Structure 1
Amino acid sequence: MSCAEASNPVPGNLFSPRAMHVFAAVTLAAILGGSSAPTPLYHLYQQSWQLAPVMLTVIFSVYALVLLATLLTLGSLSDYVGRRPILFAGLVLSVLSMALFALASSAEWLIAARAVQGLAAGILSSTLGATLLDTNPRTGPLVNSTTPLLGMSVGALGSSALVTYAPRPTELIYEVLLALFVILAVLVWRMPETALRKPGALASLRPQISVPRQARAALLCISPSNIANWSLGGFYLSLMPSLLRVATGLDSPFVGGGLVALLTLSGATGILIARHWQPNRILLAGTSTVAVGVAITLAGVERQEVALMLFGTFVAGLGFGTSFYAATRTIMPLALPNERAGLLAAFFLQSYLAFSLPVIILGWLIPVLGLVAATQIYGSIVIALALMSLVATLLMGRR
């Protein structure tokens, strides 16, 4: 069945496949925006409830771990039951997670909210990615790569603005997102279905994690960079606003959220700049830029200069986006069609573990070393990992 055949609106639908493409992009941005919205609030939660640094990282990381488990089990379910039912279920879960955030009165509430949010994001991200490819195979991959980063930028910056300048800082951003998800949940039933039902839904729930022999060397080459990349993202989304306050004395949620937004926005910019380059060139540029950017950021922390931290974040963000884009373009073409799902699962497993576990370890170290000293060690490891991939890429290019 062709995409055009699957995408023809059925009676009762008001919108075209093109509208479905826009809807999927907006929803993907909203979901990822919701994932970064709590970041500017973590310091407020920590002050109000006397939370230890490790608890902040656990609250952040439970989202990534649940999202990973969901991707591995439910990630392909929409191929069998249709896109719209899964999108609706994910949006309902998103509404529930925002309600839990808005009502939160303890760390346990936040952990529950983040777990539900991770479940929703896992269901939605894979289904929305498939929908974007269904409705426009030509632009779908680029939209899939840039929209999450743009959404996270808007989420972090919008949340920061509301926390800084609007009333009820721990509630309003979630109420705004809750209303948005309700609207999207209603609209999804006015969109055309792009995938027909077929047998095999239960079998699709079994995780398939494998790395084809022909892709192992390439995955090994990009792994240090990928781990560095996701570890960097995990740090920014969990602890960067706290670091800004401790290192510079600047207690502004707007600037803290702005640093997170700058990382993801420059990441999307990097993808747009490098999208026509060869994967090897993108990986070389991305790994070196991450290393330089993190080094500049650490220098800004040491010298207590916000401007230097901002510039370092911008440079690191360019590498953050291009390295991720290069990693997928390097390994995925090496898999046969029947091997891609297993390889992508292995890649996600590595990525989301790197997104969550290192910052939990860092949270345990902060009371012992202090946030600034622990960050210097963490950043140095990120730089070393990026440089390892840079050297490996250069060596593979000479073969």
Structure 2
Amino acid sequence: MKLLGLQPPGTPRPSTGQAPAPENQDAPPRRLSTLGVVIASVAVAFGAGAGSPLFVLYQREWGFPDWQLTTAFTVYAVTLLATLLVAGSVSDHIGRRPVLVGALVLLLLTSALFLLADGIGWIIAARAVQGMATGAATSTFTAAIIELASPRHRPMMTVLTSAAPVGGLALGALFAGVAVQFTSHPTAVVFTGLAVVLVYGVVSVLAAPETAVRRPGVLASLRPRLTVMPAARAWFWSLAPLVAAGWMFSGLFLGLAPSFDSSVFNIHSGAANGAVVALQPLSAAAAGMAFGRVEAERATRVGAALVLSGAVLAVSGVAAANLPLVITGALAGGAGQGAAFGSSLRILGPLADNARRGGLFAAVYLIAYTAYGVPVLAAGIASDAVGLSATVVAYGVLVAALAAVAGVSLTLRARKGSRITAATAGK
């Protein structure tokens, strides 16, 4: 496996890898198709977030053990990671539209599997396909939306793409929780509605112009690797623990909250369960948009501090069976994730051209979804041995440690930058 996947010496690259821009990037048809692409990117995460409240319902109806519940959550992350690792750079070679259309069609298949499901095996299969589709779509949507935007709107669209995944997770959890509580067929309500939006997404992607020039090397790009070019490498490794801390904290709520809602806080209402699950990603989406106006390097440091404090508050609340403390932690840590992830993309995005931006974002999302899924699977296994509360505390300690490491690294980097600036100004 090639890490830091630099292209082999001699591999041909176009100077920009950028498709010719349409004459008017702000024309109404262009704006409408871009809006449809953004909505489709939110729908991808919506389907993933909808699973959390529904899994509790399935467990109650079908009677499967907790480890199968966490397996259904984690198989999504595992297949997503595998797809990102293998196919994260494919859109840099064949274009954004083919990858996005293929991913959206796979998500339509996922909806069909959920609608047909009558046992946990169907759900695990559906989540595996969902992970594959999301892995293909996530970094490609991020690159495509940024490239579709006009230069003056590009910073705003970068912030929007960082908020879309967590915003979609929150909307999916909220909508599914309400459907569980107030409808007799929540799976049909959730996934039939999602299928309609996905079809709209396919139409929007096909209507949007292609932003990446086709270039050779697609088969070589399927070799597992992380594409982090030299210009972005230093920042990438400084931001990696921060991205991991934020998404691991998100996994705490999307993956484990349905279990501790029931066992620690005796929450059995579908709507209430969905609300608790959604608090963290909802806060992340809102903060990601709000911090878009804050200087990116400063926002990463603020994000690290918020994730650290949120992790301490949330796990303290679970250990003490104090729901208001958990809610406060969810809001604080969620805000930290939103500030950190959005600003990380703002820092890294300009460091790559269109020819390699999809691969760079694939590397970012590989770290994000590894932190989002793998610890939850380990926590689900550990909770059978040591108990859920102790597992959540250990989980939170690891999140806090990652946030602290990131905070120290970014602070040192900022001080070094200030010294260099001062020395340059003094000459």
Settle same-fold status: TM greater than 0.5.
yes
- Match for residue 52 of structure 1? 65
1:202 pairs with one of 215, 219, 225: 219
More moved, 357-366 vs 116-125: 116-125
Give the CA deviation at 1:96. 0.7
More moved, 192-201 vs 58-67: 192-201
1:128 pairs with one of 113, 118, 141: 141
Give the CA deviation at 1:211. 4.4
Query: Does the aligned pair in 1 maintain the 2:92–2:354 contact within 8 Å?
Result: no
Give the CA deviation at 1:333. 5.1
Q: Which amino acid aligns with 1:379?
A: G
Return the alpha-carbon distance in structure 1 between the equivalents of residues 53 and 267 of structure 2: 13
Relative distance call for 1:63 and 1:5 in structure 2 (3 A) is farther
TM-score, normalisation: structure 1: 0.88
Give the CA deviation at 1:160. 0.7
Query: Does the aligned pair in 2 maintain the 1:41–1:170 contact within 8 Å?
Result: yes
Correspondence 1:199-238 to 2 at 5 A: 199-200=215-216, 201-212=218-229, 215-238=232-255
2:119 pairs with one of 106, 120, 123: 106
Return the alpha-carbon distance in structure 1 between the equivalents of residues 230 and 202 of structure 2: 42
Give the CA deviation at 1:21. 0.6
- Match for residue 271 of structure 1? 288
- Match for residue 3 of structure 1? 21
Q: Which amino acid aligns with 1:371?
A: L
Q: Deviations over 1:12-43 (max 9, x none)?
A: xxx81111111101111111111111111122
Return the alpha-carbon distance in structure 2 between the equivalents of residues 57 and 345 of structure 1: 25
Is 2:194 the partner of 1:177? yes
Query: Does the aligned pair in 2 maintain the 1:102–1:170 contact within 8 Å?
Result: yes
Return the alpha-carbon distance in structure 2 between the equivalents of residues 244 and 105 of structure 1: 25
More moved, 291-300 vs 234-243: 291-300
Return the alpha-carbon distance in structure 2 between the equivalents of residues 91 and 329 of structure 1: 26
Query: Does the aligned pair in 2 maintain the 1:8–1:192 contact within 8 Å?
Result: no
Return the alpha-carbon distance in structure 1 between the equivalents of residues 44 and 126 of structure 2: 14
Give the CA deviation at 1:67. 1.8
1:193 pairs with one of 209, 213, 216: 209
Q: Deviations over 1:45-69 (max 9, x none)?
A: 2233333333222211221222222
Query: Does the aligned pair in 2 maintain the 1:291–1:382 contact within 8 Å?
Result: yes
1:258 pairs with one of 250, 265, 275: 275
Query: Does the aligned pair in 2 maintain the 1:67–1:121 contact within 8 Å?
Result: yes
Give the CA deviation at 1:182. 3.4
Relative distance call for 1:223 and 1:63 in structure 2 (3 A) is same
More moved, 159-168 vs 352-361: 352-361
Query: Does the aligned pair in 2 maintain the 1:73–1:204 contact within 8 Å?
Result: yes
Relative distance call for 1:213 and 1:75 in structure 2 (3 A) is closer
SS in 2 for 1:2: coil
- Match for residue 175 of structure 2? 158
Return the alpha-carbon distance in structure 1 between the equivalents of residues 98 and 357 of structure 2: 25
- What's the C-alpha RMSD, in Å, of the aligned pairs? 2.8
Return the alpha-carbon distance in structure 2 between the equivalents of residues 225 and 199 of structure 1: 33
Q: Deviations over 1:301-347 (max 9, x none)?
A: 23333333222211111001112123334455566887756554443
More moved, 113-122 vs 301-310: 301-310
Is 2:77 the partner of 1:64? yes
Return the alpha-carbon distance in structure 1 between the equivalents of residues 37 and 133 of structure 2: 15
Relative distance call for 1:197 and 1:380 in structure 2 (3 A) is closer
SS in 1 for 2:22: helix
SS in 1 for 2:209: coil
Question: How many positions carry a matched residue from both structures?
Answer: 393
Give the CA deviation at 1:97. 0.3
More moved, 328-337 vs 112-121: 328-337
- Match for residue 368 of structure 2? 351
More moved, 22-31 vs 169-178: 169-178
Query: Does the aligned pair in 2 maintain the 1:94–1:120 contact within 8 Å?
Result: yes
Return the alpha-carbon distance in structure 2 between the equivalents of residues 342 and 222 of structure 1: 16
Is 2:380 the partner of 1:363? yes
- Match for residue 12 of structure 1? none
Q: Tell me, which stretches of 5 or more residues in structure 2 are unaligned?
A: 1-18, 417-427
Return the alpha-carbon distance in structure 2 between the equivalents of residues 40 and 119 of structure 1: 21
